[in-house]
Amino acid sequence: GEDVEQSLFLSVREGDSSVINCTYTDSSSTYLYWYKQEPGAGLQLLTYIFSNMDMKQDQRLTVLLNKKDKHLSLRIADTQTGDSAIYFCAESPLTLGNTPLVFGKGTRLSVIA
Amino acid sequence: NAGVTQTPKFRVLKTGQSMTLLCAQDMNHEYMYWYRQDPGMGLRLIHYSVGEGTTAKGEVPDGYNVSRLKKQNFLLGLESAAPSQTSVYFCASSWFINSESSYNEQFFGPGTRLTVL
């Protein structure tokens, strides 16, 4: 079945780079997403990548996609305390009619000043 | 635009009580979703709707019912609350997704924190 796996915790020092990894199972997903959840709030789309791309860069964010290994990563350069949040990886498998998103359990990023 | 709003923000119920959570969106989105978020479990889909008058089951539908009588509203009902339904509930909405595009950005509400004693 569909499953998205990511590590639960990551701790980095302010100014360092953060890399959050995700593996997914359904190769039919045409888009893969990263959502950010700040404390006490709902999720917000941070960035996404289309499945025919290997990399997408958006200011401090870099998304890498390895379709062969079904591996997605999010790199945050120069991590700031405001980046402390939970980051969710998500896919939209066509096998589900591509309507629901399948989310990972989320990675809690803690930034140490 | 208010985006996606949820009512109430907090609620405490006793076992066996019933309640309805209201979700409203003002973006004219076709699709709406209800999720629950529990520690270590991530987000799990309860029910969703692909249009007014339609509903479908998600991953964890048992103990919940939903209705989508108006396009802008999606209601989640608990007929007889149980402690296992203590959770944070999120509503989300998205535009129509055609099979060619399949891009599905979901917009989330701020959540409802429900405690069942």
Q: What is B77-108 written as a DSSP string?
A: EESS--GGG-EEEEEEEE----TTT-----EE
Neighbours of A112 (CB within 10 A): 11
Q: Is A94 helix (H, G, I), strand (E, B) or coil?
A: helix
Q: Tokens 């396009």 label which residue?
A: B71
Q: Order of strands, edge to edge, in the sheet holding B4-7?
A: B4-7, B19-25, B73-78, B65-67
**pLDDT for the residue numbered A97:** 60
Residue range A2-33, pLDDT digits in tens: 689 999 999 999 999 999 999 998 877 788 99
> φ and ψ at A37, to 5 degrees?
-120, 115
- Name chain B contacts of A30, Cβ cutoff 8 Å: 102-103
* pLDDT given for residue A95 in this prediction: 62
Residue segments in chain B with a per-residue pLDDT below the cut of 50: none
* Pairing relationship of beta strands A107-112 and A9-13 according to DSSP bridges: parallel
Q: What is the pLDDT of residue A60?
A: 96
Nearest by CB: B109 against A42, A45, A98? A42
Is A41's CB within 8 Å of B99's CB? no
Average pLDDT over residues A22-45: 90
CB atoms within 10 A of CB B24: 19
| Phi, psi dihedral angles at B104 (to 5 degrees) | -135, 75
pLDDT of residue B99: 63
Among B61, B36, B37, smallest CA distance to B47 is for: B61
Would you say residue A107 has pLDDT above 90? Answer: yes
Cβ-defined contact of A104 to B110 (cutoff 8 Å): no
CB-CB under 8 Å, B4 with A101: no
CA B20 to the chain's CA centroid: 10
Question: For A71-92, what is the mean pLDDT?
Answer: 95
- Residue B39 in contact with partner chain A when CB distance is under 8 A: no
pLDDT of res. A2:
60
